[in-house]
């Protein structure tokens, strides 16, 4: 087993990872480890932009209230305020780093509108290729000073005396390495691949959450999974995302007969919060109806949305018909590894940033285009925190876990996990469906535990991670006996009303246990 030391090890290579590396790699020895290619991430796929209150008639308070209304008042107020207040300054810092945001003819920034935003405040790049612009520009900056290890899978965190001091990895030849650093940062992204239809990259299998869980970190809000209402779907297969910005420019969701689906369902109609639109679409599709995005209102569609036009062309959708077939797909995990504003988790030495982290800014349902903002804001905080901390070179001597010859028990296929999650823990959940999923996951209890002396392949590890995350989502959904944002139960269709600070608004849920901890594993029976 090779042992490699560094100042900072980042697992994952999306926007959050590259932002941290960009700030730290000038003075620190930074290693990025990714299980795929460095450009293979959800960030690169992001069509939506970055929300920030930068226009003269906007204010961080308006952005704040839009964020917590969309989040169904489950947000952490302090963290949310911090996020939106930082918006304008992080946009300036991105511009300084060379990011080009789209401009109008008069050279002012072209601000787009997306669901649940009270005004135009979304900056885009390349029309619908904001993620690509950010990732490629930052990558070009960090490449020189950062060691990037591709195609290496982080198996488990290395914890000694309650502190995270490293990570074990395996490459595709099953050869093992141990990376040791005083700062280990999870930037592993989301969990979309647990569902049959998803907008996420193939790498989004929840590895960071599963690793942190096995290490004993606090995990929260796992029941809140956001389904994007408008994915281009053909023969029940998700082909790609059709950004909410398309509806922001006037597209409408229509039935086969041309009726507007969202008329009368919410005051914001097609631009209602994502959970509301996704449920309305799901209900219609469950009755065997078909739905389309009518884009006839949008001039120069191909020029404004080049990436979406390319996805449509690939799927043989003729844009001259002005109709794109749509269905919802798993898009974003609001929960994850609990962090504070410095990105610290409950385990010293372990940080989390981006979608893997539960900062509390998204509440029960993320506001559109707040995710890239979250990546940039909290990545900057983590990097500054690390710069300030005195760095101790590790005094720990890692105890190498010998891999034995014992084989892991029978595991389900990825497809089986997706089927269970989509059917039982999807857009609409019932008591019965959750019970069914819980008992299914319980069968694979052994896959969720931290084991020793087991010889496991990368593929098996991925399945174990997916089982762990699927179980955590199901358990959290079972325990929350109300509906809120991305979590909807037919047996508890309403949100519980609570006093929240001095205002009477809805507050976080039924379960008084905010965290799902490793102890849950002990009580796996339903």
Helical ranges in 157-256 per DSSP H: 207-215, 244-248
Tokens of 496: 């519980």
Stretch binding ligand SIN (CB under 6 A), from 167-175, 238-246, 284-292, 450-458: 238-246
Is 245 among the residues that bind ligand SIN (CB under 6 A)? yes
Q: Helix and strand tally (H, E) in the chain?
A: 14, 25
Q: Which residue has the tokens 């569902």?
A: 195
* Residue 187 vs 447, nearer CB to ligand SIN: 187
Cα separations in angstroms, 408 against 411, 413, 418, 450, 471:
8, 14, 21, 12, 18
Please report whether residue 486 would count as binding ligand SIN according to CB under 6 A.
no
Q: Is 369 in the site for ligand SIN (CB under 6 A)?
A: yes
Q: Interface with ligand SIN includes 70 (CB under 6 A)?
A: no
Cβ neighbors of 465 (< 8 A, separation 6 or more) are: 205, 206, 207, 209, 210, 211
C-alpha to C-alpha distance for 186 and 194, rounded to whole angstroms: 19
Residue placing its CB nearer to ligand SIN in the complex, 47 or 468 = 47
Beta carbon nearer to ligand SIN, 90 or 245: 245
196 binds ligand SIN (CB under 6 A): no
Residue number, 47 or 282, with CB nearest to ligand SIN: 47
> Are the CB atoms for 475 and 448 separated by under 8 Å?
no
User: In the range 26-55, which residues lie near ligand SIN by CB under 6 A?
Assistant: 47-48
Selected range binding ligand SIN among 241-249, 381-389, 414-422, 496-504, rule: CB under 6 A: 241-249
In this chain, which of 13, 243, 468, 495 binds ligand SIN, going by CB under 6 A? 243
Tokens of 265: 């369902």
Q: Is 201 in the site for ligand SIN (CB under 6 A)?
A: no
- Taking the least distance from each CB to ligand SIN, the nearer of 115 and 166 is 115
Q: How far is the CB of 228 from ligand SIN (least distance, A)?
A: 6
Tell me whether residue 50 or residue 350 sits nearer to ligand SIN (CB atom). Answer: 50
Show which residues are catalytic.
274
**Cβ 245 to ligand SIN shortest distance, Å:** 5
One DSSP character per residue, 94-156 reads HHHTTPPPPB-TTSSB-EE--TT-SS--EE-STTT-HHHHHHHHHHHHHTTTEEEE-SEEEEE
Assess 368 for contact with ligand SIN (CB under 6 A): yes
| Piece of 366-374, 436-444, 447-455, 514-522 that binds ligand SIN (CB under 6 A) | 366-374
| Whole-Å CA distances, 345 to 64, 184, 378 | 24, 11, 13
Which one of 74-82, 239-247, 459-467, 493-501 is the stretch in contact with ligand SIN (CB under 6 A)? 239-247
Coil vs helix vs strand at 417: helix
Closer residue to ligand SIN (CB): 214 or 362 = 362
Which residue number, 192 or 343, has a Cβ lying nearer to ligand SIN?
Answer: 192
Q: Nearest distance from residue 230's CB to ligand SIN, in Å? A: 7
* CA dist list (Å): 21 to 140, 159, 168: 12, 23, 20
Number of shown-chain residues binding ligand SIN (CB under 6 A): 8
Q: How far is the CB of 123 from ligand SIN (least distance, A)?
A: 12
Distance, in Å, from the CA atom of 258 to the CA atom of 291, rounded to the nearest integer, reads: 9
Smallest gap from Cβ 129 to ligand SIN, in A, equals 11
Contact 122, 114 (CB under 8 A): yes
Among 81, 156, 244, 482, binds ligand SIN (CB under 6 A): 244
Lookup: tokens for 141: 């900056």
- Give the interface segment with ligand SIN, choosing from 84-92, 136-144, 249-257, 368-376 (CB under 6 A): 368-376
Name the residue whose CB lies closest to ligand SIN.
Answer: 48
Q: What is the DSSP letter of 520?
A: G
Distance in Å, CB of 311 to ligand SIN, minimum: 12
Region of 237-245, 343-351, 352-360, 456-464 interacting with ligand SIN (CB under 6 A) = 237-245
CB of 300 to ligand SIN, least distance (A): 18
C-alpha to C-alpha distance for 331 and 227, rounded to whole angstroms: 5
Q: How far is CA 205 from the centre of its chain?
A: 10
Sequence-distant (6+) residues with CB within 8 A of 151 are: 34, 35, 36, 37, 171, 172
Among 371, 465, 468, 495, binds ligand SIN (CB under 6 A): 371
Q: Which residues bind ligand SIN (CB under 6 A)?
A: 47-48, 243-245, 368-369, 371
């Amino acid at each position: 087993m090779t042992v490699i030391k560094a100042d900072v090890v980042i697992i994952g290579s999306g926007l959050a990872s590259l932002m941290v590396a960009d700030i730290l790699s000038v003075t620190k020895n930074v290693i990025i480890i990714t299980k795929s290619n460095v450009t293979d991430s959800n960030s690169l796929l992001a069509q939506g932009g970055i929300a920030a209150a930068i226009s003269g008639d906007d204010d961080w308070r308006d952005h704040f209230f839009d964020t917590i209304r969309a989040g169904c008042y489950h947000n952490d107020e302090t963290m949310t305020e911090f996020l939106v207040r930082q918006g304008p300054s992080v946009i300036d810092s991105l511009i300084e780093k060379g990011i080009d945001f789209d401009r109008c003819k008069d050279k002012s920034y072209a601000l787009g509108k997306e669901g649940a935003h009270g005004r135009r405040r979304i900056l885009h790049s390349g029309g619908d290729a904001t993620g690509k612009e950010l990732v490629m520009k930052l990558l070009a900056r960090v490449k020189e000073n950062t060691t990037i290890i591709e195609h290496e899978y982080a198996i488990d965190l290395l914890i000694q005396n309650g502190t995270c001091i490293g990570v074990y990895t395996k490459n595709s030849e099953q050869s093992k390495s141990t990376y040791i650093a005083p700062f280990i940062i999870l930037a592993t992204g989301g969990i979309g691949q647990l569902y049959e239809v998803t907008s996420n990259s193939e790498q989004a299998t929840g590895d960071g959450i599963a690793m942190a869980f096995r290490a004993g970190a606090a995990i929260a809000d796992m029941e809140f999974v956001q389904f994007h209402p408008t994915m281009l779907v053909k023969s029940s297969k998700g082909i790609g995302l059709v950004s909410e910005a398309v509806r922001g420019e006037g597209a409408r969701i229509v039935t086969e007969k041309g009726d507007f689906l969202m008329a009368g369902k919410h005051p914001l109609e097609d631009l209602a919060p994502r959970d509301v639109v996704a449920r309305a679409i799901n209900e219609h599709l469950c009755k065997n109806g078909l739905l389309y995005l009518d884009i006839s209102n949008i001039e120069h569609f191909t020029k404004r949305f080049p990436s979406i036009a390319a996805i449509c062309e690939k799927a043989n959708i003729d844009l001259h018909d002005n109709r794109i077939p749509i269905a919802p797909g798993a898009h974003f995990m609001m929960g994850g590894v609990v962090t504070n504003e410095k990105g610290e988790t409950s385990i010293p030495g372990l940080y989390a940033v981006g979608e893997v982290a539960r900062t509390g800014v998204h509440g029960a349902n993320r506001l559109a285009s707040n995710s890239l903002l979250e990546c940039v804001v909290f990545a900057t905080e983590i990097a500054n925190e690390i710069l300030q901390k005195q760095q101790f070179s590790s005094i720990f001597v890692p105890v190498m876990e010998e891999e034995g010859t014992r084989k892991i028990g029978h595991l389900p296929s990825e497809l089986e996990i997706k089927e269970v999650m989509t059917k039982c823990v999807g857009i609409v959940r019932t008591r019965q469906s959750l019970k069914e999923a819980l008992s299914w996951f319980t069968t694979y209890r052994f896959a969720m535990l931290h084991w020793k002396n087991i010889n496991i392949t990368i593929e098996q590890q991925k399945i174990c991670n997916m089982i762990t995350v699927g179980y955590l989502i199901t358990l959290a959904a079972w325990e929350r006996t109300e509906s809120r944002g991305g979590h909807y139960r037919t047996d508890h269709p309403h949100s519980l009303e609570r006093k929240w600070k001095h205002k009477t608004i809805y507050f976080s849920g039924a379960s008084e246990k905010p965290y799902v901890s490793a102890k849950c594993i002990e009580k796996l029976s339903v």
